[in-house]
Chains A and B, each alone.
Chain A
Amino acid sequence: MQMFFFRRACLVATLLLYPCLSVAETGDLSSSNSLMTLGGELLHSARALQAESVSVTAHSNALRKELNRLRVKLRSLPAGDGREALGETIDLLAQEIPLWQQQAAELRERSQGERERALALLERGYRELWQPHIRLTGPLQLEEGMPLTSGHNARIRSVHPSKLNMNVATGDSAPTEDMTLAVPAAQGQNIPGELDLRSFQISRELSVFAHVEPETGAGRVPLNEIHDWKLILSDVNGAPLSGAEVEIVGHMPGHVHGLPTQPRVTAESAPGVYRVQGVKFQMTGWWVMTFNIAAGPLDDAVTFNIRL
């Protein structure tokens, strides 16, 4: 643990110094590389913090279980000195739990902050490295002039028949401000406020960094039209990930349906630059696009949120 904190302190110090270094070295690819390397390390440290928070939470849960067990025991105990002592233990334990919980929350928060900074660093380095291939730096967006809604049931999820009655459609949804028509489909899903819409993402196992963008005239996503995407894959230092096998899975959270087509990678136009064909979205809303990536021993997945 000590060692770990020490390493992180070093990392943070380097980060603070970094702006000075980078002024001297702008445009130097190796600096972009090291930017990514730093981001990668920071990311691992964020993940370690996260793991720590999980284990602290587990500990606090174990305490609570024990506490419950003791409370049951207390209830069945006749009055006497044993009862008194047990009561004291219970009080002690009960005081411990919030402390552990608080620690878990703090760790989680630190981990999240660290992750954010790491991703920002990675993205900056990556964008410099891959600049000739990147046209889109913001989130993926719908082509202009596309209708509000097109597809199907915003609210409806697949239900097991036995659960049918628990899922009665909700009544009239409040009309949007400028409409007297109450259109549930137009109001979309329950999209979380802080959805990460970046088109630059790190993979689940932290081994691949990836970027996607639509290859259309306006660089935007059309509706109900089959079109191409570009997918750029690199390792966490920004080196191209070549010859990867990619499987594409898209779905809308809270809906029955996935993509109406089965897109796939049809070419690698330059090392690490893949052409994805057959992408089609039939409705607006929150889409999750996952790319399962296999290359040699590597087995990983990277996910993008899109809000059309």
Chain B
Amino acid sequence: MRRLLLLPLLLWCSLLFASEDSAYRFTQADILFLSRFSLDALPPPPAAPDNAVAEDPRAAALGHRLFFDARLSANGRVSCASCHQPQKYFTDGLPRSLGLKMTRRNAPTVLGASHSPWLFWDGRKDSLWSQALGPLLDPGEHGLDGAAVARVIHRHYRSEYRQLFGDSGDLDRLARAGRRLSDARRAARDRVLSRVGKVIMAYERRLQLRPARFDRFVAQLHRDSGDREALAALMSEEELAGMRLFVGRGNCASCHNGPLFTNYEFHNIGAPEPDVARVDLGRYAGVAALEEDAFTCLSRWSDAGQGDCAEMRFLKRQGPELVGAFKTPTLRNIAQTAPYMQAGQLATLEQVLAHYNAPTPPYYDREQHPSRPHFDILPLGLSDEQLGQVIAFLGTLTSPLPEDDPLWGEPEGL
């Protein structure tokens, strides 16, 4: 009698294991596919011919200090790090940020930004150095003007500046009193600004992510994909189910792909319009701003040569798909960087997934939109359990905070 009971039990057990095993079974083609999402596949940031000091360690050291220096603000209390806090993976945990005032959009992470051809949610900047001037000069963020930036550099960083750029004539000129804005003074101001941006960029380019559990899982697949125990110690069955949905039926990987989980393209996923009285035109407005911008790769402040700046020269200026489209954000550390979307409209990953599962079409206002916004996603029809699995998978993309990495902390002597 006992034997008779044992048999089905054994069968049941083996079935159970078989199903577990299949969760952890990956073919060579699978492993190759997943490798493309691993941090190991992340190349160094692309060359930056428009920034001559992009790779200069002295520039990075100075940029590190500027990034954390609140003296670079009208009230002496706002630094880049106020809104891009290393402990929060260079975000601030707020729906919209607080500088001198509240910003219109949510602060994205700076991690990985050096890989993107376009910066900001709407891509209105074409380099990190030009981007950095945005918050410095924004009355609602650092609230400075060019001359004020130069005065701070003159007072606190003159010798570093001089070492790096050969002379400090511009700084000295701007530090001297004189309200009249001559052409020479204006040029000095813009040159100083662009250089301040370039050293901050040199710092940002050096920020690196440590492998997250997902990366270690892929590395283990490469080492020994048969070692089920080692694999299971890195990712649970639920997380793996989520991963399969992420690249599969959820189709997330069609936009969130590559080692940083973004294609850096602009899409409209119909996230709720934060302010229907003043709709956010996204990339459509970003392109217009780029055409006006005085600090692009094509400007006189860029170090690029003829033939560089291809992204700017062949900028796509038209197309209905630009309206209300935003840059696909990285999903690295996403579980730690709530709230979500361009204005922090969605508080939790549960809300994000609920949106993808049954999305509302983009808000359309004939008065404000140049054309009906495109809509780039389809309802998914996943179960609650499956949505939970995707969220669990997103949790495996969190890198450990690198306590021992000096670039992730306040610089010494500030």
Contact = CB atoms under 8 A, between A and B. Distances in A.
Interface of A: 147-156, 158-159, 161, 164-165, 167-169, 171-173, 176, 178-186, 226, 256-264, 277-278, 280, 282-283
Nearest to A257: B321
B258 interface: yes
A161 B361 contact: yes
B30 A180 contact: yes
23 contacts: A147-B36, A149-B253, A151-B254, A151-B265, A152-B263, A154-B254, A158-B376, A159-B375, A159-B378, A161-B375, A164-B379, A169-B251, A169-B379, A179-B30, A180-B25, A184-B248, A184-B251, A226-B314, A256-B376, A261-B314, A261-B315, A262-B317, A283-B263
Interface in B366-383: 374-381
Contacts of A156: 251, 254, 376-378
Nearest to A151: B263
Contacts of A164: 361, 375, 378-379
Contacts of A259: 316
Nearest to A175: B248
Interface in B257-271: 257-258, 263, 265, 267
B222 to A, nearest CB: 16
Contacts of A154: 254
B4 to A, nearest CB: 36
Contacts of B381: 168-169
Q: What 9 pairs between A and B have smallest CB-CB spacing? A: A278-B314, A161-B361, A226-B310, A261-B314, A153-B254, A182-B248, A178-B29, A152-B254, A185-B254
A181 B248 contact: yes
Interface in B23-56: 25-30, 33-34, 36
B255 interface: yes
Contact of B253 (A165, A172, A185, A258): A185
Contact of A280 (B27, B33, B314, B376): B314
B210 interface: no
Given A181-B30, A185-B254, A278-B314, 16 more contacts: A148-B33, A151-B265, A152-B265, A156-B377, A159-B375, A169-B378, A169-B381, A173-B248, A173-B249, A180-B25, A180-B30, A181-B248, A184-B248, A262-B315, A263-B314, A277-B310
A173 B249 CA distance: 7
Contact of A158 (B25, B263, B364, B375): B375
A158 B380 CA distance: 15
A167 B33 CA distance: 28
A127 to B, nearest CB: 30
Contacts of A185: 247, 251, 253-254, 257
B244 A152 contact: no
Given A150-B257, A153-B251, A153-B254, A180 B314 contact: no
Interface of B is mostly: loop
A256 B374 CA distance: 8
B8 to A, nearest CB: 28
Contact of B379 (A168, A257, A263, A277): A168
B313 interface: yes
A148 B32 CA distance: 10
B319 interface: yes
Which among A147, A148, A152, A277 has the highest number of chain B CB atoms within 10 Å? A152
A229 B319 CA distance: 22
A153 B375 CA distance: 12
A151 B377 CA distance: 14
A88 B21 CA distance: 72
Contacts of B251: 153, 155-156, 169, 184-185
A231 to B, nearest CB: 15
A262 B314 CA distance: 5
Interface string B312-352: 01111111010000000000000000000000000000000
B244 A278 contact: no
Given A179-B30, A181-B247, A182-B244, A167 B378 contact: yes
B374 A158 contact: yes
A176 B267 CA distance: 28
B167 interface: no
Contacts of A283: 263
Contacts of B27: 178-180
B324 to A, nearest CB: 12
A264 B265 CA distance: 21
A260 B374 CA distance: 15
Contacts of A168: 378-379, 381
A262 B316 contact: yes
B33 A179 contact: yes
A147 B38 CA distance: 13
B311 interface: yes
Contacts of B247: 181-183, 185
B36 to A, nearest CB: 5
Given A178-B28, A261-B315, A155 B375 contact: no
B263 to A, nearest CB: 6
Contacts of A262: 314-318
A282 B22 CA distance: 33
Given A168-B381, A169-B378, A152 B255 contact: yes
Given A169-B249, A183-B253, A155 B378 contact: yes
A151 B265 CA distance: 9
Interface string B379-391: 1110000000000
Nearest to A178: B29
A182 B245 CA distance: 8
A87 to B, nearest CB: 51
A261 B375 contact: no
B258 A150 contact: yes
